A and B are shown apart, each in its own frame.
Chain A
């Protein structure tokens, strides 16, 4: 089946620094990738949708200047959390979609971010 990887799986960074999370589709080309965030004891929430080669579409309430999303190739999307704050500590998950798979989304394992 289709595999999506995320790197890193966990990261600790200091407040004010930036951290980049990568999402890769390993054996298929993902025209669309989705980024989700999950706070403790809450459901996953969609942050943004990114289509290869175009600007990401952000959900209401998500700061696009703080959460920079790049989807430069059909197999890689990156989420950069800029000027991280402790309240950005969360679990970030990406999923990838390919038209050939007919609406299926394949999920990455997630990245746990802790900002100290």
Chain B
């Protein structure tokens, strides 16, 4: 069993839909990262969470430390949100990566 698991692996939705991507982890962490990778490979750091909730534009990230679970939400999704979203747990100075969720938003 992977230490960081994401679901779903693939997600296709229509423009405007509310999107949720989940991340569960089994290790102790100091922080959890959500990253976005567009086709072509460039990675953008979206959030770094250690507790609670953060919001940036249409993106919202939450984390429940007790349940070892984090979610990334996208409101009013748009085709430009199509990308791979990756969560990574920061544990003992190292990052443990989830496998990523490939999101496709259709117009």
Chain A residues close to B by CB (< 8 Å): 9, 32, 34, 38, 43-46, 49, 91, 93, 95, 97, 102-110, 112
Contact = CB atoms under 8 A, between A and B. Distances in A.
Nearest to B91: A103
Given A93-B43, A97-B93, A110-B43, A43 B48 contact: no
Contacts of A34: 94-95
A93 B95 CA distance: 13
Interface of B: 30-31, 33, 35, 40-45, 48, 86, 88, 90, 93-95, 97-100
SS of A interface (majority): strand
Contacts of B31: 103-104
Contacts of B100: 43
A109 B33 contact: no
A110 B42 contact: yes
A90 B10 CA distance: 22
A97 B45 CA distance: 14
B33 to A, nearest CB: 7
Contacts of B86: 43-44
Given A9-B42, A107-B45, 15 more contacts: A34-B94, A34-B95, A43-B97, A44-B95, A46-B95, A49-B93, A91-B41, A93-B43, A103-B30, A103-B93, A104-B31, A104-B48, A110-B43, A112-B40, A112-B41
Contacts of B30: 102-103
A49 B93 CA distance: 10
Contacts of B42: 9, 109-110
Contact of A105 (B33, B41, B44, B98): B33
B41 A110 contact: yes
A45 to B, nearest CB: 8
A101 to B, nearest CB: 9
A112 B100 CA distance: 19
